Structure 1
Amino acid sequence: MLEITKRNQNEFTVIVAGKGDKRQYIVSLDDDYYYLLTQGTISKEELIRKSFQFLLERESKESILSKFNLKVIKGYFPEFEEEIAKEV
């Protein structure tokens, strides 16, 4: 289960729950990167949801950084932007 809460315009709390435990993350997403990935067709919350689904298909929730900017995902997974573009 994914729960996403807006902290401010560019920062979100994400909770990933499953198998009796949950993890909390702080994710930042600036407007420029948001528009680059989505052209504004989905909300920032939905982009973060899709990004976490992408991450969780590739690694455990324990391996995800507890605080990060969405831009760093492409440094670990070069295919990230291309895969997200297919989803929006």
Structure 2
Amino acid sequence: MDPAADPQQFVIEVRGDDGIKTTHQVTLHKDLYIRLTGGLKSPEELVRASFQFLLDKEPKESILQSFDLSQIQRFFPEYEVVISSQIIK
């Protein structure tokens, strides 16, 4: 992760089986990226895994349109443990 690009911004599009698309803006700070990945995976891989985690928990329409990745922990306390164990595999 480029230190000059802290935080990084991502735009995620999720298209469901119904063909309807939702768009989400996600912010990722370097400290969370390092804590969850140890720098072993790309920021994009962390964001992708985090979205899959959210989609396993709720429909795409329930995911906030704009949020910081660190907010997931507030709604799903198991997030950091689950993601860091998945992403380091």
If the length of structure 1 is used for normalisation, what is the TM-score? 0.88
Q: Which has the larger radius of gyration?
A: 2
* Matched position secondary structure for 1:57: helix
| Distance in 1, Cα, partners of 2:45 & 2:69 | 13
Show the counterpart of 1:14: 12
- Equivalent AA in structure 2 for residue 59 of structure 1: E
List structure 1 segments (4+ residues) > 4 angstroms apart after TM superposition.
Answer: none
Show the counterpart of 1:62: 61
Structure 2: gaps of 5 or more residues:
none
| Distance in 1, Cα, partners of 2:39 & 2:66 | 24
Aligned residues: 80
Deviation per residue, 1:12-50 (Å, 9 max, x gap): 000001121100000000111100100111100110000
Seq. identity, %? 46
| Distance in 1, Cα, partners of 2:31 & 2:85 | 19
* Matched position secondary structure for 1:20: coil
Higher strand proportion, which one? 1
If the length of structure 2 is used for normalisation, what is the TM-score? 0.87
Aligned-pair Cα RMSD in Å: 0.7
